[in-house]
Amino acid sequence: MSESTAANAPEARVPTAVDTVAEAWVDTQIALFPEYRVYLGRDGDQSAYSDYSPAGAEAALAAATATLSSLEAAAPVDFLDEVTKRDLTRELQLAIDKSAARFDERDLNVLASPAQGIRDVFDLMPTETDDDWASVAGRLRNVRGAIDGYIDMLRSGIASGTVPAIRQVTEVIEQTRKHAATDGFFGALVARAGDGVTPSVAIDLEAGAVAAREAYAELGRFLADELAPNAGQHDAVGRELYTIASRGFLGASIDFDETYEWGIEELARMVAEQQAIADEILPGASVAEAIAHLEGDPARKLHGTDALKAWMQEKSDEAIRELGGTHFDIPEPVRRLECMIAPTNDGAIYYTPPTEDWSRPGQMWWSVPEGVTEFDTWRELTTVYHEGVPGHHLQNGQAIYNRAELNTWRRNTFVSGHGEGWALYAERLMEQLGYLDDPADRLGMLDGQRMRAARVVLDIGVHLGKPLPDGSRAWTGDDAFDFLRANVNMNDGFVRFEANRYLGWPGQAPSYKIGQRIWEQLRDEAAAREGSAFDIKAWHKRALDIGGVGLDTLRWALTR
């Protein structure tokens, strides 16, 4: 942290017994999951990986159990402690419950499993100096050990009959093929070093890239030869596993049957709202016709990733400049957000938080699919607000800045329903503040909101075997693509990837819209309680100052 930043920061409180347990838990996580060190921007070994084997899972369970015992013995001294104890208990108990349900043994999907995470960490590693590149080379060498441990875990699942669905296995085999190719990610990563490293580091990088490619080739062979013949044939995980998974993504327990019916109603509301705006854009037009009209408008096009990056940065800077001091308190360090083009090509748009010392700022990433060179501003403006300010960047940056009150665990915890729910809340808020007054921009926002509503219906429907919205029969995984295709105005490759993501990552996709629902309920309840005294800027600050917590904890803290 710079001297000026430190001078403006509030004085830190004296750590309590509860804080001590929480800080120790962060240290334990770094020891068990060294990739977390990179995420936090902590000094130390930047090349180590988690132990993804059954032995690693046993060590993680023992640590969670011991920490929960220590936490139970720690007496809260104030409101901050009460929040920490309540939410850390939630996280630790969830880890214990997931272990009992053998989640690790079936942990394979197209987006967020060790198959991707082992590679993803490279995106956050610094590459400015020779020492940085030496750490990259060390991590490349260690990919094989991480992959071997992961294979051992999946093998354990085969033995116990706890396996992922064949659809996920098939898709990940294709991902491993790309990573194993000489022109894949690892070769491109090493090429970025160029002549900017010493000869010895250059040699280590080349050798590490070869080793990492071979490791992913080995993972692909295992998936094809051993896991695929034993994989599950059904996408649905059932109510018991879904309940645990959903609790993890929401930090709350909900009524799935009521939420499914709400999702159907919310989807219908989004469709009607879209149709009304389509008529504004092109009188008498359908939604599809209005979209076609906008896609043909050259004034709403960006050409090339350089133009996309510059436009994202411009819109992000504008939002930070104009919102700071009106509806939000935005501390000076949080006012810096970098918009980036990701080194991958999977189509994802995502955010990574700043490091604790602000040496790495918050970053908004766009992974542009191969061959995509044009971008529609009307479709993507709401994405800038979702990932940046007032979305993820404000939420995460505010928590990290609030180190005087929040311990390290509170500052860096991310619960999907809380974080993604806030980001969707932010999108709607920007509409209410007039930033989406152009009907085209509102249509783009609604396109995303409609997709999120459709995901509630699809995800709960498939994994719990609910009746299809028309009541004709029960959902199956094969219904996911057509249902999503009818509700998302994107190309078939995107739709297929998204559908596969939901089928392999149960409970995550609905957390966005459900989280938004809860955030809006909490705000509206506060406005009703406080009447004319309600101050939305003060409410936003109070809510964000709590840090990342589960939604049940958030509700308790805001209504206490």
Q: How do residues 359-370 score in pLDDT, each as one tens digit?
A: 989 999 998 888
Q: With contact defined as beta carbons under 8 Å apart, do 130 and 201 qualify?
A: yes
Predicted local distance difference test score (pLDDT) of residue 67:
98
pLDDT score of 121 more than 80: yes
Distance CA 338, CA 364 (A): 6
pLDDT score of 7 more than 90: no
For the chain, the average pLDDT equals 94
Residue-wise pLDDT tens digits, 463-488: 999 999 999 999 999 999 999 999 98
Both ends of the chain: CA-CA distance in Å?
Answer: 34
Q: With contact defined as beta carbons under 8 Å apart, do 311 and 330 qualify?
A: no
Beta sheet of 362-366, edge-to-edge order: 337-341, 362-366, 349-352
Best mean pLDDT range from 190-199, 236-245, 484-493? 236-245
The DSSP annotation for 113-133 comes to SHHHHHHHGGGGS--SSHHHH
Predicted local distance difference test score (pLDDT) of residue 10:
58
Within a 13 Å sphere around the CA of 248, how many CA atoms are in the beta-carbon half?
A: 19
pLDDT score of 135 more than 70: yes
The DSSP annotation for 48-75 comes to -----SHHHHHHHHHHHHHHHHHHHHPP
Q: Which residues of 432-468 are buried (b: 16+ CB within 10 A; e: fewer)?
A: ebebbeebbbbbbbbbbbbbbbbbbbbbbbbbbebee
Distance CA 372, CA 557 (A): 45
Rg (CA), the chain: 23
Predicted local distance difference test score (pLDDT) of residue 107:
98
pLDDT score of 1 more than 50: no
Place of tokens 């809340």: 425
Distance CA 327, CA 432 (A): 12
Tokens, residue 247: 């609790």
Residue-wise pLDDT tens digits, 204-230: 999 999 999 999 999 999 999 999 999
Residue-wise pLDDT tens digits, 483-527: 999 998 888 888 899 999 999 999 999 999 999 999 999 999 999
Interval 295-300 mean pLDDT: 94
Report the length, in residues, of the chain. Answer: 560
Cα-based angle 60, 251, 28 (whole degrees, multiple of 5): 25
Smallest CA-to-CA distance from 307 within 243, 373, 358, 355 is with 373
More confident of the two residues 3 and 155: 155
Predicted local distance difference test score (pLDDT) of residue 8:
52
Predicted local distance difference test score (pLDDT) of residue 356:
85
Helix (H, G, I), strand (E, B) or coil at 224: helix
Distance CA 385, CA 359 (A): 23
Distance CA 505, CA 109 (A): 7
Q: Which residues of 129-155 are buried (b: 16+ CB within 10 A; e: fewer)?
A: eeebbbbbbebbbbbbbbbebbbebbb
Interval 317-336 mean pLDDT: 91
Q: Does pTM surpass 0.85?
A: yes
Whole-number percent of the chain with pLDDT over 90:
88
**Whole-Å CA distances, 326 to 320, 390, 421, 538:** 11, 12, 22, 10
Residue 5: which pLDDT band, with cuts at 50, 70 and 90?
very low
Q: H or E segment at 299?
A: none
Predicted local distance difference test score (pLDDT) of residue 324:
87
Q: With contact defined as beta carbons under 8 Å apart, do 423 and 452 qualify?
A: no
Cα-based angle 86, 90, 94 (whole degrees, multiple of 5): 170
Interval 68-93 mean pLDDT: 98
Distance CA 31, CA 170 (A): 33
> What values do phi and psi take at 531, rounded to 5?
60, -135
Amino acid 16 reads T
Of 51-55, 496-500, 513-517, 553-557, the least confident: 496-500
Smallest CA-to-CA distance from 215 within 277, 273, 141, 287 is with 141
Residue 325: which pLDDT band, with cuts at 50, 70 and 90?
confident
Predicted local distance difference test score (pLDDT) of residue 482:
94
pLDDT score of 528 more than 60: yes
Smallest CA-to-CA distance from 52 within 133, 117, 134, 121 is with 117
